[in-house]
Amino acid sequence: MINIQMVDLKSQYQKIKQEVDIEIEKVISNTAFINGSIVKEFQNNLAEYLDAKHVITCGNGTDALQIAMMALDLKPGDEVITSNFTFIATVEAIAVLGLKPVLVDVYKDTYNIDIEAIEKAITPKTKAIVPVHLFGQSADMEAIIEIAKKHKLKIIEDVAQATGGEYTFSNGETKKVGTIGDIGCTSFFPSKNLGCFGDGGAIFTNSDELAESLSSIVNHGMKVRYYHDKIGVNSRLDSIQAAILNVKLKSLDTYNNARIEAADFYDKAFKNCEKLITPFRSKNTKHIFHQYTLVTKNIDRPKMQEFLKEKGIPAMIYYPVPLHKQKAYESYGLSELSFPITEELCKTVISLPMHTEMDNEQLEYITKSVLEFTEK
Ligand SMILES: *Cc1c(COP(=O)(O)O)cnc(C)c1O
């Protein structure tokens, strides 16, 4: 049987092993493990790739979100609006600072934050919006910018699943996601579109003032050593990870295009299947398929997962429980509210293997097996 994984990091590593190993070896030899010059080099390279003025690396994507909110001076009790259909880290960062997460529903087609729902959720206490570019596709940034301007809100983009993704404005201007709002936050968790060999994250901004604040917060709130102007955290990308990311960044577009090609293959195979709705791609986004997520119709999802598992095909549910139903968030009084789209998606979505090393043999086998189940 062919070996199929949700994410195949081993095969990806084999192709860049020589270069990566040399770069890791260099860091070990010169022992600048923390804040080595390679970290600065990677920050500059990523800033250039994104066309962002500043990139500040940090320990992981969750920290990136928290640090962004600290830099924007959000205070306990301030309300932050975000999507109910995302990974927990997005709301965690809000809650951990004593801010109030205000969850809103998403669109049925893009799975991204619903613009009208944002408007309805705004109160005098609202300070920021955190759009999540879920599964690799940009949220509707033009509309979000308009709302933010109207209500004087900050925008923090959660780019953890979409590094390298793009959004095109109605005037034709295209930008990389994460460089559109006030601050963009990403993760280099190994399975993300740009992943390292451990934990890592980064924060993007075009504001000099915010960049200065962010750089100080990631490093104990200091600019001059042992003089602490702000309350900060310790959140750093280590030099070994920066060295690896420097190598992988060169292939990011190739990696993202490989994902898009795999998604094209899936789309074509499932086009006529009435029980599966293939992922929607907005005309004004470059969807880079962090996940390939289908919506199932009249399907016993656990049975489908079991059937695929027996054939050696992993399939995952991102995400099985809406955030407002999570035990840890009960005290926010969200569980009584209704989020019909998120609730329906949690019951019906299924994600198929998606990574940079998918070949036609694997794709044929997976699609044939999925269709064998749906046609039963
Ligand atoms: C992965 C992820 C994060 C958190 O990143 P970590 O590096 O794991 O802390 C935040 N938001 C979303 C949407 C993610 O997928």
- Give yes or no for residue 2 having a pLDDT over 90: no
Q: What is the 3-state secondary structure (H, E, C) of 14-43?
A: HHHHHHHHHHHHHHHHHCCCECCHHHHHHH
Ligand 1: lining residues by beta carbon, under 6 Å: 60-62, 86-87, 89-90, 132, 158, 160-161, 187, 189, 199, 201
DSSP letter, residue 302: H
Per-residue pLDDT of 81-110, as tens digits, reads 999 999 999 999 999 999 999 999 999 999
- Give yes or no for residue 1 having a pLDDT over 70: no
DSSP-assigned letters across all residues of 266-278: HHHHHTT-TTEEP
Q: Provide the pLDDT confidence category of residue 294 given band limits of 50, 70 and 90.
A: very high
Average pLDDT, the chain: 97
Work out the average pLDDT over 5-31.
Answer: 97
In the chain, the amino acid numbered 151 is: H
User: Ligand 1: distance of its center to the CA of 156 in Å?
Assistant: 14
Q: Provide the pLDDT confidence category of residue 171 given band limits of 50, 70 and 90.
A: very high
Work out the average pLDDT over 168-191.
Answer: 98
According to the per-residue pLDDT averaged within each range, which of 155-164, 224-233, 331-340 is highest?
A: 155-164
Q: For residues 1 and 320, what is the distance between their CA atoms, to the nearest angstrom?
A: 29
Give, using CA atoms, the residue closest to atom 6 of ligand 1. Answer: 61
Q: Provide the pLDDT confidence category of residue 336 given band limits of 50, 70 and 90.
A: confident
For residue 308, the model assigns a pLDDT of 98
Work out the average pLDDT over 152-173.
Answer: 98
CATH fold of 252-374: Aspartate Aminotransferase, domain 1 (3.90.1150)
In the chain, the amino acid numbered 272 is: N
Question: Of 204, 184, 194, nearest to 241 (Cα)?
Answer: 194
Work out the average pLDDT over 248-265.
Answer: 98
- Opening angle at CA 327, ends 115 and 295, nearest 5: 50
Give, using CA atoms, the residue closest to atom 5 of ligand 1. Answer: 61
- Opening angle at CA 94, ends 44 and 76, nearest 5: 115
On the CB side of 37, CA atoms within 13 Å amount to 2
42 in Cβ contact with 246 (< 8 Å): yes
**Edge-to-edge strand ranges of the sheet holding 183-187:** 54-58, 201-205, 183-187, 154-158, 126-130, 79-83, 100-104
- Give yes or no for residue 324 having a pLDDT over 80: yes
Work out the average pLDDT over 234-262.
Answer: 98
Atom of ligand 1 nearest to the CA of 132: 13
Domain boundaries, the chain: 9-104+112-249, 252-374
- Give yes or no for residue 335 having a pLDDT over 90: no
- Give yes or no for residue 173 having a pLDDT over 90: yes
Work out the average pLDDT over 186-207.
Answer: 98
What whole-number percentage of the chain has pLDDT above 70?
100
Structure tokens at 128: 């920021």
Residue 354, classed as helix, strand or coil, is coil
CATH fold of 9-104+112-249: Aspartate Aminotransferase; domain 2 (3.40.640)
For residue 172, the model assigns a pLDDT of 97
Residue 372, classed as helix, strand or coil, is helix
36 in Cβ contact with 30 (< 8 Å): yes
For residue 181, the model assigns a pLDDT of 98
- The two most distant CA atoms of the chain are separated, in Å, by 68
Q: Is the dihedral of CA 137, 317, 355, 374 positive or negative?
A: negative
Per-residue pLDDT of 265-283, as tens digits, reads 999 999 999 999 999 999 9
Atom of ligand 1 nearest to the CA of 64: 9
What whole-number percentage of the chain has pLDDT above 90?
95
Work out the average pLDDT over 173-187.
Answer: 98
In the block, tokens 């995952």 appear at 316
